[in-house]
Structures are given as structure tokens and as C-alpha cells.
Structure 1
């Protein structure tokens, strides 16, 4: 998103009660991609690249489509347009019902290329009369596909150039060269310079494309914007864009790749053939889900989202970056090692229970974490997933001189827990044992003598202290190393005995120290101990991590008895119930958990905390984890806890109030049901997947009671 776009959006939405001005939103529409380029197809059919963090290429800032008939241009809008995923893949079908006819489109992203196949009239495989128009859905035979596109190679919207080739336009600044091509030729083509300073300063928003600027001879070539008219052949055409770096993909190779894909998706084929061809091109980008898997459609949707958000390295962005100029957030298009390792851990857990065949995903994650680990055993705040290089952040204290206050120690805890479990699961990656030893020593460095982590930043990245959630990640990391670290086989004079023995001793220290965070009058664990030594007794959904951490610790018990004592189990039940009850919010539109008490972030005019899908899914998972732990003790409270898990899970499942029509889980919701922030967010999708797997594995998944079984498109 360029500054010009942000300013234009600001003019459109300043003062809006639920929209933050200056952002590019993805609450409507769907994404196409997987393992690289990420393209958003909005509800009106417009395109935008969100894949820079995944590929290092900026690409398409905006693409619009319409029909050109008898010199008149009709741009498609959201009204009269429907959209769905095809056969559970990342191919998107968009149907435009206009007053001059029906256009059916299929959008697919294949590596570095995005393809849009469009069909009109009989070739659209469906004739529909648009209600209220009286037209017959067959555009005139001389209609052309209208295309407006603006490319931003190297992240620039100025100082750009064009090279015009047969049936293709090449856009460039320096390293990045982007191509726009048509399988059926180009009948009209004109360029357009970006918005001028007077236009930006004008109080009115600017419609795109703009009128041609008279008297500017350079407008045709010194720009990244073009308007094309593309003819239909037998009612069909295909338009494609390719992103590349010229030194990696020479011009001739780019044209060969485009021509090869055009040959496969031949406009002479019928619409059904084109759809099937595009599905075959993206086959394998989303793992297939066995028929026997419970709530199969929702799990397939989770895997699709996590595939979309993944780079070839295996690292994932938190979500599509709707706020790259940091207007109302710190950005989302980066890899956080906490979020990413939590996702990796949930995927590993679900795969072990449901046999999803994700070994390649686990190996890529483990390898990426090992490559990114610092010499002190920790991980940086955030990195670029396409390269692993450090990205802009505000919690890199361990790369700077000074205390650890601006370091997020829970990130290291989350990575360690995953790597220890991955090693036990047979994930064989060079350097894994060394990484675990280094990480163990890094955890020790940030554990105080009283058994709690040092003062640092929290999971929500908005305060410092000694957090309950951070302690939970340390407990789980040490417990997993204690369970699975005996075979690491590396000696270090800073480790007492072997890795497993040393880690178990540390786990017990943390377990005992958690008593210092207990708030008796509320029946829950504190959000944190402040830097001044006081307890902050607010309820925080991040402390729901205590449930999974205690299950991991419980496995350290000897003679078949769990390591969690009865008093701690009672406190754990009280804590989860208090957090879930205390953070619950139900309105006429939604039901779920908000993040923590007195959370003031992105409230806009609502004036109170917003519901988060991460918190709601976390609540479901914590209740499920605790239900399993209770059931292992034959504790009658297990049944009620499993029922609560199912209720919360239902809200983020198909048919739930927090699941968008697109099948995505947005990060947040206003009380009126308006989604907000990153959409889709990977973390709650991973939690949902693992929670379904856990409940199903222990015969606690009650579909009738809440987890909706209808298809997730």
C-alpha cells in the first residue's frame, strides 16, 4: 500500500465509527496463493498483492475489471457479485451479474503468476437474469474485458517505467520487473501517472482509474498504471500478471512462463475446462484432508489459510498486512516466533491425531527456527519470512545493550516447546540438538532465582512485567525438554546432568513459583507482576496457556501418576473458569472472549474491549486441555469443561458468530458484528484445528452441541 492509497482511504473513512482511516482491509473477498505470492480478490473482484513479506516482491497495488461495450466502460462492483472457493482449493470463482450481462471469473495464483480467466454469455456456463434489470446476461458480441492495473515494482509508485511488448506490458524500477499479459491480445492500452499533489491535498477521494491527464507526454511510459481492453475469443479470455527480479528471471524466461500457462488455460476451452485446469495447477498447495477427519470442511479451511500465509521458507506472516504505514498498529506482515511456533505446535498436535501428512511443514518450520536462532539461544522479535532477515520491531533488547525489558521471552519458550516435540515426532533437521541446548541455556538466562521469568514484554506487546503467560510458556518449554530431551546427547558444563534432568528441575522451579501469581480473591492467576513488584490481578486470555502447560508438566509424573497436584488442579479449574466467564461478551451479533480487562486497543467509538477470535479459540482449547487432564483423573468436572470447550469452539467454527462468510477468522470484532484488523489471522485457525483434533481424539467432540458441520466454502 502506497502513501497515496493511505491518504485516499483516509479521506474516505475519517470519522467512521468502525473503520480506521488509512488502511487496506481484507474483511471481504478471498485470497489466492500458497507458498509465495498472496493475491486478494475482493468482493467486487478487484485484485491486490499482499505477498511482499512472503516473496520480497511488491507487485500489484490494485487491479480492477469491467466490460467495455460500444466505447462505454462499466467497472464491476460488489453489488450483484458472488464469490466462492472452488473444490476446497485456492481457486476463486467470482460471478458478476451486471445490467449488460454475466461475467464468470476464475482467479488462481500459481507461484509468481496470477491468472484471471473470464467468460461471458454462454461461455460463462450459466445464464442468469439479473433481478430488476430485465437483461438476459449475454453481453454484446463486441464486448471486451476492461482491465485497470497499477504495479509498484520495488515498492515504488513513482520513478517507474514501462516496456511494451506484443500482448504484454513490463513495469520496472530497478530490480523488480512485473508483467501484465493477455492470452487474446490487447486492443486498447494507455498509461496513467500517479495521483498528483493537488489531487492528494484535495478533500475529495479519488476514483480509480482517473481521467487521462492532458498535456503530459510522459504519462504513457513513466508510470506503473495502465488501462487495457482485452478481446474475448468465443466468449473467453485470460489475463495474467507475473512478478520477478530481472536478474533471477530474464525477460525471455518470463514470457515463456506466461505463454506456457496461457497454453494450458487456453481461451478456446469451455469455462468448466478452465476451472478444472486452474484447480489442477494449484493442486497440492493445500493438503488434502482425509474423509474420516471430523469437521473436515473447517479443518480444510484452516489448512488453506495457513498455506496462504506461508512463505517457501515455512515461516508465516501473522496475517495480511492491512496497515503497512503503521497508522493504527505496528504492522502484521512479519513472522513473530511466538505466533509462528504456536501455530507449528498446534499443527504438529493435530497432525499426530488426525494423520494430515504435514511432515514437510514441520520440517520447514524447524529448519527456519534453527536458522534464525541467535547465539544466545533466543529469537529476535520479528523477521521477514521470505529471507529470515530481521524485520522492523520494538522488542529486540537482546540485540541491543541494556536490560531485557523490551524482549519477548515467551517467543523463545514457544519455539523450544515445538522443537522438543518435533524432535520426538521424528522431524530430523540438522542442528536441532544444538539449537535445543542453546535455547535451554537461553531460557535459564532469563529465569530469575525465584522461578519466574525476568521483566520483559508480554504476548500482546503492550506492557512490561513478569507475566503469567510468559511463565506458562517457560513451564511448557522446560516440561517438553524434560520429556523429550534425554536423547539430545550434548554435554555442556552449564547443564546439570543431561538436558532432560536439567530441564525437569527448571520446570519444577517454575511450577512452584506460579503460586506467587495466585490472586486468591479472584480465584485466578495474575496477568503479571509489575516492575514494581505488585500483582496486576486483571484477567488476561493469554493466561489460558496455563492449561496446556500444565498438561505437558503433568506428563513428568512418575509411576503413572500425574505431576500436577490436587490443589494446583483445583486452582487451574478455577482459573480457566474465571478467565472464560470474566472475558465473555455476548451481543445480538456476536459471542466470544475479549483479550483482557481494560484492553483499550482499536476500540474506536465502541468504548469498551472488543472480542478477539484468538482469545475465544484459546478459551476453547484451554477448556479442552483441562477436560482431558481432568478425565485422566476420572474427575467429574471433565464433562462440563468439555461442554464449555465445544460452546466456545462453535463461535469460531462454520456457522459461528466469529467466523466470516469467507471462511476466515478475523482478528477482532466490534460488538455490532463488524470485523476488524488482520483477516484472516493464522493463529486462531491453528488453535481451532488443534482443538477439534484434541476433542475428537478423546471422544469429547460434540458436533450436535455446537461445532457446525456444514461446508466451509
Structure 2
């Protein structure tokens, strides 16, 4: 998105009840990609690239497609349109009904290329006397190579046009040639200053001959052959791909992918195949599609498509957060183990990147660019700036440790994994206060500081998973030259038995949680403030206590590598009866207290008093990640209860399935696209990053958990429904 586009959107949407001006929204439409480039096909058919964080290439920033009869153009974004995914792929079919005929488009992103195949059918159903030979496809495309919309040029060839700045080269070509081609300068200063938005493309201006070559804007007339025209774009780097190779690549794609079936086959290769026997298969396919779309070749993921690159109302979304990413990795690992999804490559790439991006003090930075793990803009990098830990999100390190420990147990092979876990354990110790809870730091929602129940939960889970799966970890694995930047990371200062040390630390954190219990509300507090006061508001992030206690409970039950099963709840390290009662009370209180329903939606708000992105709405907005988290917490707690033959397990399963239904296909929080947006207004309008990877991963794991560990309750739930 360029500043001109942001200003244009600001003019169009200032004062809107549920739209924040200056953004590029993806709450409608669908994405194609999963193998590098990420292209959004809006509900009206507009194409835009969102893959810069994944590939480093900007590509298309605006586009329009029209059907021309002579000088008359019917823009397809102004006519009735229907859209769908084709099968279990990222191929998008969009059908436009124009006065001249029905245009059926198939859009597929294959690597760094995107193909739009358009077929036109004039039929005999009342379209105004149109000769198919008179029809052509008009394509308006604006590229921003290297993220620039100034000092950009064009090169014209017989079969393509190249837009370039310095390193990035963007190509547009057609399988049927280009009957006419012209350029256009971006919006002028008077147009930018005008109160009215600017409609593009403009008519040709004969007085501005230089605009034909000195911009990233192209208007092409593409002829149909036998009712079909295919247009392709390709994003390249001058160091990697020659001009000739780029044109040959597009020509080869036109030849190979010359039908919807061929496009579907190619677009299906970017998503793991899902067995027909998998439960809630539509939901699982959608989750794997989204997680594939949001992934870079490195294996790291963006949180969601970046709808707000100018930080107009947020801090941006097109980055990798280690909290979100590691939890997605953990959920995917768990679901794969239960459902047999064949995600070994995902698990290995995640582990390798977590090893590669660990800092010398054993922690992980606030956020990075997913394409290479380089530090990205952020506001919680205290450990890089040598500041106090207040501006550090310690839960991110806890989440990565939990994943790496489980990946190690699952046999994921990543060079340096053991050394990374040893350093991470030492780094975690350094941010654990003497009372057994994490030090003052930033929270999961990144909007306050304190000593949070959620951060404590991630520490409990991290220590527990290390204790369960840390056999053979040795301090000697720590390279003092590579690490050792703090006293805690001195190999000589680490205990001999690191798994036993992690077990002891888990027990300390478990006991320290009592400090956050609020008996008056029957729940754990959101946090202890930096000043020592208890903030007892309900917060959906505290639902993470359920999975953390399942990990801790496994210690007492001997579920680790080579451990013998203990004697149930009375075994050392297992969750005791009082804590289990408190967990049940906590989860019920949070789920009930954060539940919010309107005529259009139902789900959980993020936390009590959440004022972010409300616009004109007075109440807190419903969040999909909070709702999915509620479902997962109820399911995790149901397993703990079922292990003890506690009758409360059945009620927890019912709660889990009810919450899961809200975020499942057909639920009020799941869009017809199968996407989960981050938030919803009460009138049912989706808002913010869409799709958001985190709730999709939680949904995936919750479906698998309910099917695998709690099938005995399925008949009862079905009967109640």
C-alpha cells in the first residue's frame, strides 16, 4: 500500500461507522498463494499483493479488470459478483455478471507468479447483441517495485511489460498478447489535495508523453481467443532472474496451466492433503490453507495480512511474533500427531528458524521479518536495548521453549536444538523472580505491563515441557563463545541435571500461582501491577492456564521420555484437587464473564474494559482468538477431569463444542470465506487482520483434541444439540 492509496481510502471512508480510514482491508475476498507470494483477490475481483514480509517484493498495489466492447468498459468491480475456493486449493473462482456477458475468472498464485484466466460467455440470455469478437479484457495494474511509486520505469516487449526501480522487477504479460498498452502517472498533487477521491485509471493524456514510461501504472487491452484470455504477473529480483528468463517463465506457465483443472492442480500443491476421514474436514482444510498462505519459505509466519502498513490505527500485522508463531507451531504439531496431516516439513522449518533467531541471552526478540528472521520494527526490544525487562515480552520465550521441547520429543531434527533449549532455560530462569513468578514485563496483548497470569502460564508450560522432554540436555551443550552474555548463561553456573531443574522450577511456578488467586471472583487475576496491586479483571489470555496445567500434570503422571506413570492426582508434581477446583472455577468464570452476544454474533471479548478499535461501539468487541482459546481451554480442562473420572468433564466438553461452533464454518465468527478475522463489531462486521493465523491454529488443535481424547462425550453432545 502506497501513501497515495492510504490518502484515497481516507477520503472514501472518513466517518464510516465500522471502517478505519487509511487502511487496505481484507475482510472480504480470498487469498491465493502458499508458496511465496501472497495475492488478495477482493470480493469484487481487485488484485493486490500482500507478500512483502514473506518475499521482500512489493508487486501489485492496485488493479482493476474490465470487459470492453469498443470504447465502452464494464469494470468488473461494479457488477454483481460471486466468489469461492475451488476444492481444497488456493485457486479462486470469481464470477462477474455484466451487461455484455458472464465473465468467469480463475486466479492462482504459483510461486512468484499470479495467473488470472478469464472466460466470457455472452450466451443467449438477453445480453445486448454482442459479438464475442468485439470483446476484450482491460487490465489496469499499478506496481511498486522495491516499494516505490516514484522513480519507476517501464520496458515494453512484444509479449510483456516490465516495471522496475532498482532490484525488483515486475512483469505483466498475456497469453493472447497485448493489443494496446499505455502508462499513467500516479495521482497528482492537486488530486491528492482535493477533497474528493480519485477514480483510476484516467483517460489517456496526450500532453504527458513521459507518463507512458515513467510510472508503475499500466493499462493493457487483452484480446480473447475462443472466449478466453489469461494474464500473468511475475515478481522477480534482478540478481536472481534475467529478463529473458522471466518472460520464458510466464510463457511456460501459460502453456502448462491452460485450463481451470490445471490451475487447480498447481494451486493445490501448496496445501497439505487432508485425509477424507479427518473430523470437521472443512474446518481442517481451511485452517491448513490459511496457515500455508501466511507462511514464508523459511517456515515463519506473518500474524495476518498487513491491512495497516502506515500504522494508522495499529502497530502492523505483517511480522512474525514468536508468541503467536510458536503457539501456532505447537498447535500444528499436536494436531498432526492426532490427525496424521503430514506436516513434518512445517515442524522442522519452525524449529530451525527458532534456533537461528535466538538471541545471545537465550531469549527471542519482539518480532522479525518472516522471510529471513531479521529484526523487524517493534516496541518491546528491551533486551536488545539493554533496558529493564518492562519492555520485553517474556511469554514469547516461554512459548518457543514449549514448542521446541515437544518438537524434540517428536523427533524433529534441527541442528543446535539442544543448545538452544539450554540457553533458553537459562534465559527463562533469569526472568523468574524469587517468588516464582515472571518479572514485570509486557503482556500478550502488548498494551500494558505487569506480572501477568498469562506470562506465568507460559513459564509453567515451558518448564513442564522441558522437564518432560529434556532427558539428555546438558549444560556442556552451551557454547560459551556463542552464548554467555549474562551470568545466567554461564555453562559452569547451570545445574548438572537440567530436566530435574526444570521440574523444580515448574513446581515453584505452580505454587506461586496462588498469589494471583482472587477468591471473591473465583478466578486468577489478570496481573499484579508494577506497583504491587492486584488487577482482577477477566482476561481471555489467562485461559492458557488450562494447557499449562495439563503439561504440569503430566510430570506427576510420568508422561515424559522414559518416565514411569505416577499414581494419578496424588503423585508428586500432578495437579492437586484444590488446584483442579480452582481451574474449573477460573475457566467457567472467564468464559461466562467474557461472553458477549448480539443479534449477529456470539463469542468472547478479549478482556474486561478493552477499548481498542471500538469506533462508535460502546461495548468491547468479540475476538476470534479469545473465543477459540475458550474452546481449547475447556477441552484441555475436560481431559484433566476425564483422567480423574470427574463428571464435570462432560460439561466442559459441551462448553468447548459450543464455543468451537462460533468459530467453525457456519458459525457467526467464521466468514463465508472460511476465514477467521481478528475481531467483530456487534452488527456482524468483521474487522482487523483477516485471516488471523492464531485462531485458525487453535481451532485446528481443538478439533483434533476433542476427537482424539474426548470421543466418549460425542454422543451426549450430539444428543443435546
Query: What band does the TM-score fall into relative to the shorter chain?
Result: over 0.9
Pairing 1:631-642 to 2, within 5 Å after superposition? 631-642=642-653
| Residue 234 (1) aligns with residue 226 (2) | yes
Aligned to 1:495: 494
**Aligned equivalent of 2:387:** 402
Query: How many Å apart are 1:643 and its aligned residue?
Result: 0.2
Cα deviation 1:337-378 (Å, max 9, x = unaligned)? 000000000000000100111000000000011000001110
- Give the aligned partner of residue 681 of structure 1: 692
Q: Does 1:151 align with 2:143?
A: yes
The counterpart of 1:560, out of the listed 558, 567, 586, is 567
Q: Which structure 2 residues correspond to residues 53-202 of structure 1 after superposition, within 5 A?
A: 53-77=53-77, 79-121=79-121, 129=125, 134-135=126-127, 140-202=132-194
Match for 2:443 among 437, 455, 458?
458
Change over 3 Å in CA distance of 1:264–1:137 after alignment to 2: farther
Q: Is the 8 A contact 1:157 1:223 kept in 2?
A: yes
Q: Equivalent of 1:428, from 396, 413, 421?
A: 413
Q: Within 1, Cα distance between the matches of 2:446 and 2:433? A: 21
1:480 aligns with 2:474: no
- In structure 2, C-alpha distance between the alignment counterparts of 1:657 and 1:485, rounded to whole Å: 42
Change (3 A) 1:137 1:568: farther
8 Å contact 1:98–1:137 — kept in the other structure? no
Cα 1:438–1:27, aligned 2, differ >3 Å: closer, same or farther?
same
1:247 aligns with 2:254: no
- Structure 2 unaligned segments of length 5 or more: list them: 477-490, 558-565
1:706 shift after superposition: 8.0
Question: What is the aligned partner in structure 2 of residue 520 from structure 1?
Answer: 519
Residue 302 of structure 2 corresponds to which residue in structure 1? 317
The partner residue of 1:350 within 320, 335, 339 is: 335
> Could you tell me which residue of structure 1 aligns to residue 269 of structure 2?
284
Give distance in 2, aligned partners of 1:9 and 1:435. 45
How far apart are the structure 1 equivalents of 2:579 and 2:714? 28
Query: Aligned partners of 1:704, 1:306: CA distance in 2, in Å?
Result: 32
Partners of 1:82 and 1:698 in 2: CA distance: 40
**How does 1:28-67 map onto structure 2 within 5 Å?**
28-67=28-67
Post-superposition offset of 1:265: 2.8
Q: 2 CA distance for matches of 1:406 and 1:69?
A: 60
Q: CA offsets per residue over residues 664-699 of structure 1, 9 Å max, x none?
A: 000000011000000000000000000000000023
CA contact (8 A) 1:524 1:575 kept: yes
Superimposed CA distance per residue, residues 156-188 of structure 1 (whole angstroms, 9 cap, x where no aligned partner): 111100000112100011111100001101111
Match of 2:214 among 213, 222, 226: 222
2:577 corresponds to 1:570: no
Deviation at 1:214, TM superposition (A): 4.7
User: 2:361 aligns to what?
Assistant: 376
Does the 8 Å CA contact 1:541/1:595 hold for their aligned counterparts?
yes
CA change 1:706–1:590 in 2 (3 A) is: farther
Q: Counterpart in 2 of 1:657? A: 668
> In the TM superposition, what are the counterparts of 1:500-511 in structure 2 within 5 Å?
500-511=499-510
Conserved in 1, the CA contact under 8 Å of 2:65 and 2:77? no
Other structure's SS at 1:97 match: strand
User: What is the CA-CA distance between 1:128 and the residue it aligns to?
Assistant: 8.4
Offset of 1:139 from its aligned partner? 6.2
Structure 1 segments unaligned to the other structure (5+ residues): 267-273
Determine the C-alpha separation between the residues in 2 that align with 1:252 and 1:67. Answer: 30
1:692 aligns with 2:703: yes
Superposition map of 1:526-605 within 5 A: 526-558=525-557, 559-562=566-569, 563-605=574-616
* Preserved contact between residue 47 and residue 62 of structure 2 (Cα < 8 Å): yes
Out of 103-112 and 494-503, give the one that drifted further: 494-503
Q: 1:617-668: CA deviations, max 9, x gaps?
A: 0000000000010000111100000000000000000110000011100000
State the Cα deviation string for residues 20-44 of structure 1 (Å, max 9, x = none).
Answer: 0000000111000003100000011
Please point out which of 283, 287, 296 is paired with 1:298.
283
For 2:78 and 2:358, the matched residues in 1 are separated by: 45
What is aligned with 1:270? none
CA apart distance, 1:396: 0.3
Match of residue 625 from structure 2? 614
The alpha carbon displacement at 1:457 in A equals 0.4
2:656 is matched with 645
> Measured at CA, do residues 308 and 138 of structure 1 come closer, stay the same or move farther in structure 2, by a change above 3 Å?
farther
Is the contact made by 1:465 and 1:529 (CA closer than 8 Å) also made in structure 2?
Answer: yes
Deviations 1:189-243 (A, max 9, x none): 1100000111011000111212334521211000000111100111111100000
Cα contact 1:238–1:265 (8 A) shared by 2? no
Displacement of 1:401 after TM fit? 2.2
What is the distance in 2 between the residues matched to 1:682 and 1:138? 46
In the TM superposition, what is the alpha-carbon distance from 1:607 to its structure 2 partner?
A: 1.6
CA distance in 1 between counterparts of 2:611 and 2:520 reads: 25
2:482 counterpart residue number: none
